[in-house]
Amino acid sequence: MNEQARSISMLDRVIHEPGRLMIVAMLSGIEEADFLFLLHETGLNKGTLSSHLARLEEAGYVEITKAYRGKVPQTLLKLTRAGRKAFDQYRKMVHQAVAR
């Protein structure tokens, strides 16, 4: 296996899926976001977004907090330290793979 193929095969599969990559990329640039913001910005449907967030939470990459704004329920999302580190590593590996 050549170096480029090896680099690609070592990418974090949790982040590499396009829907999760969108979510992680968006959250990497901000402190936190609510579910409706991500729903609107990603164009994913509620079920798909929820499923991706659950997978990211399971991996320890996203923290999900349920809160209320007044009487309205709100789901807040942010990348964990591990999520930021994993995304930084993912970007480095992609860059290395395509730079060869």
Give me the CATH number covering residue 10: 1.10.10.10
**Is 77 among the domain residues?**
yes
**Is 70 among the domain residues?**
yes
- Report which of residues 75 and 100 the model is more confident about: 75
What's the rounded Cα separation, in Å, for the pair 62 and 80? 5
Q: How confident is the model at residue 100 (pLDDT cuts 50, 70, 90)?
A: low
**Is 100 among the domain residues?**
no
pLDDT above 90: percentage of residues in the chain:
84
Q: What is the mean pLDDT of residues 24-51?
A: 97
Structural contact between residues 28 and 91, judged by C-beta atoms closer than 8 angstroms: no
Helices 35-42 and 46-58, packing angle to 10 deg: 120
> How many domains are there within the chain?
1
The pLDDT of residue 52 is 98
